[in-house]
Amino acid sequence: MEPNETVPFRKKLYAGWMTIVARFGHSQTLVMMAAFYFFLIGPVSIVSRLFGSDMLGKRGLGEDGSAWLPADSAAPDLERAKLTS
């Protein structure tokens, strides 16, 4: 038996295995992402809502009835430019 006779069988086996694994990999990704959401993101959002946390600062209006925040309008200078880099 020559070694070249088993190569096509191995390639077919490998191609079939990769087809099966690709389907399971997609399903496994969906399960892992759902578990991540339900066991991490969900409880954190419920707890933050129960304690009234406003992480994005979206609740409440300013003194003038607007949600706009004052801009940082300092004059540009060299020290300010160094802070941004």
Instruction: Give the dihedral sign, CA 45/49/53/54.
Output: positive
How many domains does one find in the chain? 1
Cβ contacts of 68 within 8 Å, gap of 6 or more: 62
What length does the chain have? 85
In a domain? residue 19:
no
pLDDT in tens, 34-75: 999 999 999 998 998 899 887 777 777 666 777 777 777 777
Describe the chain by its helix, strand, coil percentages, rounded to 5.
65, 0, 35
Rounded CA separation 15/18 (Å): 5
In a domain? residue 50:
yes
In a domain? residue 6:
no
pLDDT in tens, 2-44: 555 566 888 888 888 888 888 888 888 899 999 999 999 999 9
Percent of the chain with pLDDT over 90: 18
In a domain? residue 69:
no
